[in-house]
Chain A
Amino acid sequence: MISVGVDIGSRTTKAVVLDDGQNGQGNKILGDAIIETGINPISSGERVLEEALSNAGVSRKTLGKIVATGYGRISARFADKTITEITCHARGVHHMEPSVCTIIDIGGQDSKVIKLDDRGRVQDFVMNDRCAAGTGKFLEVMSRAMETVIEEFSQLFFEAGEPCAISSMCTVFAESEVISLLADGHNRPDIIAGLHLAVAKRVANMALRLGLEEGVAFTGGVAKNQGMVAALEQELETSFTPLSYEPQLIGALGAALLARKLK
């Protein structure tokens, strides 16, 4: 049976097409897709589904169940069920790496820490509050303020000599703090490293509140940012368990895995 998970996030929309084989024994990822969500989460969901199916070479007729997740999940009319991204990330990570006990997920508009029990079920979770602090959006705005693209922004973390201390986590205030630091003559890599560490500190605080258990995985779009990976590993004093799949697609993968179980 072929199942699909669609993860409609605030910045990007993702889909994973999964084939669990003849008798549900195997789990083969047939295809996936990532597109920008833009201003219309309904059509993005439709589009990413088509794109992932075409990448997988699967026709819509042969499809089994679809689970939608992410903040736009409610608008996904094609879905048989919606499940929160918290449960989906847990499922996706546990499938890829059963030894993981803690998931750090940083997406476009929120960050979460999810604690798993020994069977991979969500035991507890925390989410950041409503503003952009500690999210991908924060890093994007800052990258623009530093006149870099996000890929370069992420790499400049490693060129810092002495990272600046950034105390503001409000995106607007942090931007003015960055301007003051530039005016004081600090170089770009030092400021950029400071921004990464500020996000990492905030997420680390959330993780500590929940109690960090070894076996930590990093998922979500921001996990592709190598500077952020390094900053978080430094703040959490741990190294992440590698996942053998795109971290940005883990939520959609979890949704596809949960879709298999639907009747």
Chain B
Amino acid sequence: MPKPAALVRLEDELARRPKELTQAKAQGKRILGYFCSYIPEELVWASGLIPVRLCRRGDNQAATIGRSFLTTNSCPFACSCVGLKKQGRDPYFKLVDLVADAPACLQMRRVFEVWERYFGVKVILLSFPRKFYLPEASEYFARMLEPFTRELSDYSRIPVTPERLSRAVELYNHIRRRQQRLYSLLREDPPPITWRDVFRIIHAGFVLDREMYRDILDELLEEILPQPHTNRPPQARLLLAGSIMAPGDEKLFNILGELDAEPVMDELCTGSRGTWGQVDAPNEGSLARHYLTNIPCSSLPYPRLEDDPRHAHISRLIKDYRIQGVIYHTLHFCDAYNFKVQHLHNLLSSYSIPLLHLNSDYSMADAGQIRTRVEAFLEIIQDRSA
């Protein structure tokens, strides 16, 4: 199937983006970087700052540098984020004027501390409720969004007016609706677009101008929806879940590719997670509710195992996407996602869905091992469906 024109345009825009941001900066625009999907981007956009989600390919060399600032037992993504800043080669890491942190993940909190202390980067900290599931948490978070917004506006010198906020909420709701639509297409067999493409499209939204991104999403859907679905059906319907997977993290996908396999769906904070739900009104209360009641990141302590909302969500995805197996990929020392994997494993076993847990990092030392595991996992799925 030829590549949709809108996807080609998306790639062109991505290639152009670093230069475009450099020019915007020269014209006095300011760029705000962030890592975590709990930052309400609507407020950043409404304050006139250019939001960039600093989710870049985990790099083993950068991680080695980062480890000297953090600890040898720190998550490789966190280490990589420090190393990439120190190296100063990644255009986005280089261009950001300030960063915002919603400390859900405490390992990532250290990254901000290092950036502030050693690289002199201004950090805006958004207070974050640990008991996120309580109704009071949304009230608290809504109140905390006020000083956060004030700090953004102080920096950009553009006040977040009701009109600006309303436009921002509308824009992001629109983007989320389109992204959800793309993900819903992956339920079809064969789908009109591959999961890998959808994943890349989500990632483009981390850096591109958001209004242009919205338009490209519209174009893309108009283009692919009427097309006949000629993609090959996948050999196994896999769901990918677990620790953060940044744009350009190819290790697992290369191994899967060698085995002619690919996920059909994800439950990742850099994938489908941010696309669910809508902000129902342009105010802090609605924003707070939206972000806190979405599928929670595992770094937030949900105290009970039995009704963990993320596990329930994964179970739903398994049903909706007719998943045959879950690949649960975690990063070394990412205790947030390693901690509950056994429980999820047991839960899925109870309805005969196999789970493969891969605990890895950005080095290639274990690539052969991982390949054997994935291959054996695919053999299990084949044997079951035979």
Contacts and interface: CB of A to CB of B under 8 A. Distances in A.
B349 A124 contact: yes
Interface residues of A, number: 16
A121 B365 contact: no
A49 B379 CA distance: 25
Contacts of B375: 84
B379 A87 contact: yes
Nearest to A120: B383
Contacts of A84: 372, 375-376, 379
A84 B383 CA distance: 13
Nearest to A121: B383
Interface string A169-202: 0000000000000000000000000000000000
Contacts of B365: 130
Given A87-B379, A122-B379, A122-B380, A127 B372 contact: yes
Interface string A69-105: 0010000000000011111000000000000000000
Contacts of A71: 368, 372
B373 interface: yes
B369 interface: yes
Nearest to A109: B369
Given A121-B384, A209-B342, A86 B366 contact: no
A122 B372 CA distance: 14
A85 B369 CA distance: 12
Most chain-B CB neighbours within 10 Å: which of A71, A84, A85, A110?
A84
A11 to B, nearest CB: 15
B367 to A, nearest CB: 10
Interface in A45-71: 71
B379 A127 contact: no
A124 B366 contact: no
B22 interface: no
Nearest to A85: B372
B166 interface: no
Interface string B328-355: 0000000000000010000001000010
A129 interface: yes
A125 interface: yes
Contact of B376 (A125, A129, A130): A125
Given A124-B349, A130-B366, A86 B354 contact: no
B37 interface: no
The interface residues of chain B, by DSSP majority, are classed as helix
B359 interface: yes
Contact of A87 (B342, B354, B366, B376): B376
A55 to B, nearest CB: 28
Nearest to B365: A130
A130 B369 contact: yes
Contacts, number: 39
Contacts of B366: 129-130
B381 to A, nearest CB: 10
A29 B354 CA distance: 34
Contacts of B373: 127
Contacts of A127: 369, 372-373
A110 B384 CA distance: 26
Nearest to A70: B372
Given A121-B384, A124-B349, A129-B359, A110 B369 contact: yes
Contact of A86 (B368, B376, B384): B376
Interface in A117-146: 121-125, 127, 129-130
Interface in B100-122: none
A121 B369 contact: no
22 contacts: A71-B368, A84-B372, A84-B376, A84-B379, A86-B372, A86-B376, A87-B376, A87-B379, A87-B383, A110-B369, A121-B380, A121-B383, A122-B380, A123-B354, A123-B380, A124-B349, A124-B354, A127-B369, A129-B359, A129-B366, A130-B366, A209-B342
Interface of A: 71, 83-87, 110, 121-125, 127, 129-130, 209
Given A84-B376, A85-B372, 16 more contacts: A83-B379, A84-B372, A84-B379, A86-B376, A87-B380, A87-B383, A110-B369, A121-B383, A121-B384, A122-B376, A123-B380, A124-B354, A124-B380, A129-B366, A129-B369, A209-B342
